[in-house]
Amino acid sequence: MDSVCPAAVCLLEVCLLMFVTDYTMHLLDNVKKIHFIGCGGSGMYPLIQILSAKGYNISGSDVLDGSIIRSEREMGVKVSLGHAADNVIGVDLVVYSAAIAKDNVELNAAASYGIPTVERSVLLGYVSRLYKDSICVSGTHGKTTTTSMITTALELAGRDPSAVIGGKLPLIGGYGKAGKGDDIVIEACEFSETFLKLTPYMSVVLNIDNDHLDYYGSMGELKFAFKRFALMTHFMIFANADDKNTMDVMYTLDRRVRTFAIDNAADYRAVNVQEYKPGFFEFDLKEWDTKEMGHIRLAVPGRHNIYNALAMCAVCRSVGLTVEQCANAALNFKGAGRRFEVYGECNGAVVVDDYAHHPTEIRATLNTAKELGYNRVIAVHQPFTYSRTKMLFNDFVDVFKIPDITVITPIMGSREPNDPTITSAKLAAQIPNSVLVDSLEAAADWVKQNAREGDLVITLGCGDIYKASKMMVKKD
């Protein structure tokens, strides 16, 4: 097990708390007008909703129109298409996302005008401290679903929460919500240590897996980041007792921790787990302090969603919801955007899209797909980043033995330069029953020519592979 120095952790904790207090406590003092560069992004939208509801004058800019920008305009946000120096004249603060280039004309203009600028994650950290109960959901896998489940439970219970989610939640009409209650539910992403900007009242650690090692360098450093995140929690940490990496971190903490599990002893445990129809599960919720058990039935497929539901139950029971209210949320939660999302049909085959991009996530999604009783499962995968594809190459090869056919598209490099030592062709060459295509259009065309009634086609990846699903179901 990777080890860390407890003294160093304590010192770092103090430094982080000082940073939070000194740097962001007064972030919006004397601020009335806020401009968002890249306001059409899903991560910006909830912040715009929340700050607009709190009375700030919001403007924004982006290069392309879209549904998020249309929603923002309906809220009264002044949105400019295209970036220009004039867009920041007269504003008090400029917010930008990690996707915005450092030489962006609006960032340069803000600097020349003496306007403060702040990265989105820092502003999100500030927003997390505006609420009495900030619930921050972390973990390599399952964050969006669990954040959505908790938001659903609080919303249906009448607590009117605010939310910042990485996927669309139909119940609240998008990626976030500006509620009037004391709760805010935040998806806490570990990439680039973004979640260390947050100050949770309650936090969830679903799991810790070998992702983003291009940034962290080792599992030890990744676990150390989760430890720092947990140390920022003011009241309670909820942790998956079935996940070894998570518990390696929890055992070193001097914090209040409650656990959830299926297999191991835990404060919240799923017992009498049953598959009530192919791929869909129900269980009895057993709590540490009572002999009574509530019954939870999931409306989303996959055994992995039991853990997400357990986390939801643990958090919601701790803020005062009844078991019946938790069960109602589980029964009424039909999924979040790009999480086993059904797009339609192609030649009678059902077409589904899923955000899974790490082998562990892909395995859970494909195992769920295989349990649903379709004649064939056809996976269409867009590898994301050269570093992840290279680092987890053998894991990708192994997991794509699950579907009957795997279609591999070109690697989406995203933030990384091209690496000629790793290609989709090399990956496809090692995967049985694989098909190599040179574009998303070619992937959609292959499915249109080969899918048939009784098949399940599932696009997989965190890039723009969902566009292929849209092409598949589009009527010619």
Q: Where are the domains of the chain?
A: 31-121, 129-332, 341-473
What integer is the mean pLDDT of 416-435? 97
Pick from 162, 99, 153: nearest CA to 318: 153
- pLDDT-above-90 percentage for the chain: 89
CB 32 within 8 A of CB 101: no
Banded pLDDT at 21 (limits 50, 70, 90) = very low
Query: How much is the pLDDT for 1?
Result: 38
- Give yes or no for residue 217 having a pLDDT over 80: yes
Catalytic residue of the set 187, 190, 282, 341: 187
Binding residue per annotation — 143? Answer: yes
31-121 and 129-332, same CATH topology: no
Query: How much is the pLDDT for 293?
Result: 86
Q: How many CB atoms lie within 10 A of CB 218?
A: 11
What integer is the mean pLDDT of 50-63? 97
Query: How much is the pLDDT for 98?
Result: 85
Binding residue per annotation — 139? Answer: yes
CATH of domain 31-121: 3.40.50.720
Binding residue per annotation — 304? Answer: no
CATH class of 341-473: alpha beta
Determine the 3-state secondary structure of 99 from DSSP: coil
- pLDDT-above-70 percentage for the chain: 95
Query: How much is the pLDDT for 112?
Result: 98
Query: How much is the pLDDT for 212?
Result: 87
Binding residue per annotation — 252? Answer: no
Catalytic residue of the set 24, 72, 106, 143: 143
C-alpha 306, offset from chain centre: 17
Query: How much is the pLDDT for 16?
Result: 52
The reply to whether 143 belongs to the active site is yes
- Give yes or no for residue 7 having a pLDDT over 50: no
- Give yes or no for residue 6 having a pLDDT over 70: no
Query: How much is the pLDDT for 5?
Result: 52
Banded pLDDT at 13 (limits 50, 70, 90) = low
CA geometry: angle 376, 331, 131, nearest 5 deg: 115
- Give yes or no for residue 2 having a pLDDT over 50: no
- Residues 122-180: tens digit of each pLDDT: 999 999 999 999 999 999 999 999 999 999 999 999 999 999 999 999 999 999 999 99
CB 298 within 8 A of CB 282: yes
- Give yes or no for residue 372 having a pLDDT over 70: yes
CATH of domain 129-332: 3.40.1190.10
- Residues 243-294: tens digit of each pLDDT: 999 999 999 999 999 999 999 999 999 999 999 999 999 999 999 878 778 9
What integer is the mean pLDDT of 190-197? 94
- Residues 91-132: tens digit of each pLDDT: 999 999 988 999 999 999 999 999 999 999 999 999 999 999
The reply to whether 187 belongs to the active site is yes
Catalytic residue of the set 24, 144, 146, 246: 144
What integer is the mean pLDDT of 376-402? 98
* E strands in 334-415: 341-346, 349-354, 376-381, 405-408
- Give yes or no for residue 363 having a pLDDT over 50: yes
What pTM was computed for the model? Answer: 0.90
Query: How much is the pLDDT for 290?
Result: 80
Query: How much is the pLDDT for 47?
Result: 98
Tokens for 313, please give them.
Answer: 């139950």
CB 435 within 8 A of CB 460: no
Banded pLDDT at 19 (limits 50, 70, 90) = low
